[in-house]
Chains A and B, each alone.
Chain A
């Protein structure tokens, strides 16, 4: 099983530098990115998700954290047994799989010098500080790319490295309002709504990974690195969910998407419907009316002239009553099973608890287990994709703070005494 943490003792960083790709005991197949090395100056959600995606595909990622405190995500819930502790954040655990962790105070000259040395050996640097911070530390693309022309350097920020909002602050809801289609999300007579949890920051990290991988591809083919400027606002404004369509509709006709009741365009059920034990969601097209009538057990309605015009929304109430009555006689899983057997897209509105118990998700082995030195064994979300030849794999848990200082800095020639000195000076 490649999707399980094999629990091997990992090779020292120096050996990795000599040999190239790390040979993994217990990992049966080579991973797609196992020849790539990344130096990671990111924190919170978007940046770490970007480097996690690359690390999970095999890249060797060294994560730099602030001594003593570490990545702010260490202080973000949920925590194991609701115990706020820097080594017990489930969010941090998820976002930093397969990375090595090193602490460096980048405000010290020694810290900056160590960071520059590490950057000479890598294919990519990814950072998510406020614009200008890395330049003030002497760690910007200009500085690091000079001696490493193949270097790909990706910066992830709220609004990008240029423009009038460059220095503006943002959180998930600000990105939702400005980049995403929050305006048209929610009920027409109420306030607009953000999406759930922090999905947009995750999505920004995913797009940053695509951008970084594109630049790494170019560097592999030409030997030339480059700078990648990722604005979280733009990762949403250019995205597919509804935003680009709303933007383009305005260009085409001067109109744009507004908040609306789900499924208001036709008589067909679309949106959430209550059922016996919760809710299900439909999305159905007018041409599927005959299938829907079959599903409802009323095939005669397929030719009923009252429903011939599927855009006659005056008939919607009548159809909804039929669908709701059908749903209320069934639980959400049964609704979905029966609707799907008639070719009608319908799925249950699940909770996290439902997911962990879902037979499909269990059969595909989506959740993986990791053994963490402080948290012990815990489950984590697994692979977003199954690459059959060179799979996603969980090789190691998220690092504890400074866990790999000796290993990574040792490879640069720093002995145990040097590490004591660096620690004493607060550099690591």
Chain B
């Protein structure tokens, strides 16, 4: 009997940056055999690292601050989402490379890519072409705005598409030159990854019943918009254009982020009811405030939010950010520490639930990796193998899986059509 939900499902992955790789990361976690098809002709910027020649400022992405001989196998950017995937190298721009790729598609179930819409067209690898090779194929194209419409060929990273779908407008400091100082967040990559994985599993479920594969046209923008329902529905229903509330909330008050003891330490507090307000007053050692009419109701607390913030911060400054959480949660008040990368790695909740997985990576060494996004009782998700080095599974794919003859492989390798493990430009230096 199969041990994992997607055991026996083969996924061909031409994904870049974050959204597509996040989808295949979850499919790999669920047991699918995910094979990345990579090229040596172009360095996939922001995928296997930020850039082919990383400056010293980026060395902290590598184990021991050392990029090593082949940094693209050692970077934190790729090695997190690369788990449970394989890697082979095929030059899809060469007709003979395309022929090898055709054979790979013929023995696969799913194809997914999230390049700009022009990339796959220029390669001649549309779903129409690929499904003529394999009618049962489920194929996902996930460009920023989808495969139709005036923005079809626009290029956009998650950060930019979020701006375009209205997320940046409703975040940021409310007292600032809105939204001039917003730092990058990449929430669209998260929505795109989850949506891709879900759509693929739904299509697999459909194929199981009907035998039919299908094409999935997934716009990054459209995967993100349903998550912005409040500002969108407010405009649709009331014609209102919402602006950022910063860290405040339309109904919870007080709510904010408060400075704690220590350097750059913060805790969040969010009071959603009068009971929680009473709990906060107890924790602050100011039970008399419960009866104070200035703060008795939600609307009153919103009105006096600034003075409440000062009062709360005077208290939080005395405590460690974790202590603020524990004290307030004991009084029934939602609160938590703002965790930096170090805090999160040592957090008792994540650690006690076994969130981190150990991997022995041949070129990066042994480390803990962020693990499964959920827990299954019967088919637990594990890190079966670490992120693949570039071309690590060339032999497996060409010889074992496709059954190519040794001399054919050698001939194609010699012409640099398949195989290899180092970027062309990197060899030149």
Contacts and interface: CB of A to CB of B under 8 A. Distances in A.
Nearest to B348: A164
A251 B2 CA distance: 33
B62 interface: yes
Contacts of A213: 198, 201-202, 205
B230 A247 contact: no
B353 interface: yes
Contact of B372 (A82, A226, A238, A252): A238
Interface stretch (A107-115, A132-140, A266-274, A298-306): A266-274
Interface stretch (A8-16, A62-70, A185-193, A414-422): A185-193
Interface string A226-264: 111111011101111111111111111111111111100
A235 B190 CA distance: 10
Contacts of B244: 196
A192 B257 contact: yes
B199 A385 contact: yes
A283 B183 CA distance: 12
A210 B194 CA distance: 7
A174 to B, nearest CB: 4
B262 interface: no
Given A174-B270, A272-B179, A364-B222, A78 B233 contact: yes
A319 interface: no
Interface string B189-222: 1110111111101111110111011111111011
Interface in A179-230: 181-187, 190-199, 202-203, 206-211, 213-218, 220-222, 224-230
Size category of the B interface is: 35 or more
A349 B189 contact: no
B374 A229 contact: yes
B169 interface: yes
B252 A171 contact: yes
Contact of B151 (A176, A243, A360): A360
Nearest to B246: A193
Contact of A255 (B60, B193, B223): B60
A163 interface: yes
Choose among B197, B201, B230 the residue with the greatest number of A CB atoms under 10 Å from its CB.
B230
A102 interface: no
B187 A203 contact: yes
A403 to B, nearest CB: 20
A184 B183 contact: yes
Given A91-B229, A352-B232, A384 B270 contact: no
Contact of B205 (A220, A287, A384): A220
B130 to A, nearest CB: 14
A24 B295 CA distance: 53
Nearest to A93: B233
A30 B139 CA distance: 19
Contact of B237 (A168, A198, A378): A378
A287 B45 contact: yes
B61 A253 contact: yes
A381 B80 CA distance: 32
B246 A248 contact: no
B355 A240 contact: no
Contacts of A241: 18, 158, 185-187, 189-190
Given A251-B368, A360-B149, A173 B255 contact: yes
Interface residues of A, number: 157
Contacts of A90: 229-230, 233-234, 236-237
Contacts of A182: 257, 268, 338
Nearest to B56: A311
Nearest to B146: A364
A252 B361 CA distance: 12
Contacts of B190: 203, 239-241
B67 to A, nearest CB: 11
A287 B42 CA distance: 12
A226 B378 contact: yes
Interface in A347-368: 347-356, 359-361, 363-364, 366-367
B341 A221 contact: no
Interface string A91-102: 101110000000
A169 interface: yes
Given A195-B171, A206-B195, A233-B349, A386 B236 contact: no
Interface in B238-269: 238, 240-242, 244, 246-247, 249-252, 255, 257, 259, 266-268
B377 A227 contact: yes
B206 A32 contact: yes
B21 interface: yes
Contact of B155 (A345, A364, A383): A345
Given A213-B205, A215-B5, A256-B342, 18 more contacts: A36-B205, A172-B270, A216-B205, A224-B378, A230-B373, A234-B353, A238-B373, A281-B159, A336-B154, A340-B153, A355-B165, A361-B222, A363-B148, A364-B148, A381-B228, A385-B195, A386-B216, A389-B203
13 contacts: A91-B229, A141-B377, A191-B257, A193-B172, A196-B244, A197-B231, A211-B374, A218-B4, A247-B341, A248-B367, A367-B236, A382-B222, A388-B214
Closest CB pairs A-B (n = 4) = A256-B341, A90-B233, A196-B171, A196-B170
